[in-house]
Structure 1
Amino acid sequence: MFQIDGLEEKLSQCRRDLEAVNSRLCGAELSPEARKSLEKEKNHLMSKASNYEKELKLLRQENRKNMLLSVAIFILLTLIYTYWTM
């Protein structure tokens, strides 16, 4: 769970940084070098955000599997207990 929270925070920060880069790209007159540098930073941030999203998806799937396994074990133990006490 803490991994998911940490990744969500990183993704959020990455998106904020991306918005800032986009606003700088649209806002002012930039030299070709500055524009190229910002475009490079934008591409890097987009790639980073994409990786964070993929990692979050995998962690959530793993979380879901673990939760289902826990529920199945709980049901099994409940059935065994019920059978044993009858």
Structure 2
Amino acid sequence: MTKLKDKRREKMSVATEIDRLEERRARCQDNLERAEFRSRRETLSDTQRQELDDEMTIMNERMQKLDKELETLRGENRKNMMLSVALLVISALFYYVFFYNEEDS
């Protein structure tokens, strides 16, 4: 199952993966806000409050993990962009050297 998931991710672009993780993070953030609102507004028993606190702790850990993954993917995306710009500059340089200079001769 894990290998299938990894193969699917390999086929996905970095930008698509970033979008997917941002959506997951937004959902997690919404769930955390709902849980915090519930803990402030409702009168809960000690066990319910403890369960809610545990749930909020898990959601915070998930958000931190997603933030780390997003940071890694954004760094990878930045590298890819720099590589693309470098290739564009090299291509423009070759065009100038080989085609533009031939017209001058």
Tell whether the structures are fold-level matches, with TM greater than 0.5.
yes
State the Cα RMSD in Å.
0.7
Shift of 1:80: 1.2
Secondary structure of 2:74's counterpart equals helix
* Partner in structure 2 of residue 11 of structure 1: 25
Equivalence for 1:73: 87
Quote the offset at 1:50 in angstroms.
Answer: 0.8
Q: What is the aligned partner in structure 2 of residue 58 from structure 1?
A: 72
In the alignment, the residues of structure 2 paired with residue 84 and residue 2 of structure 1 have an alpha-carbon distance, to the nearest angstrom, of: 37
Bigger-Rg structure (1/2): 2
Structure 2 distance, partners of 1:67, 1:16, is 31
Aligned AA (1:81) = Y
Deviations 1:40-79 (A, max 9, x none): 0000000001111111111111101100111001101111
Which residue of structure 1 lines up, in the alignment, with residue 55 of structure 2? Answer: 41
SS in 2 for 1:30: coil
Matched length: 86
SS at match of 2:44: coil
**Whole-angstrom distance in 1 between the partners of 2:94 and 2:42:** 70
Partner of 2:37: 23
TM-score, normalised to structure 1's length? 0.96
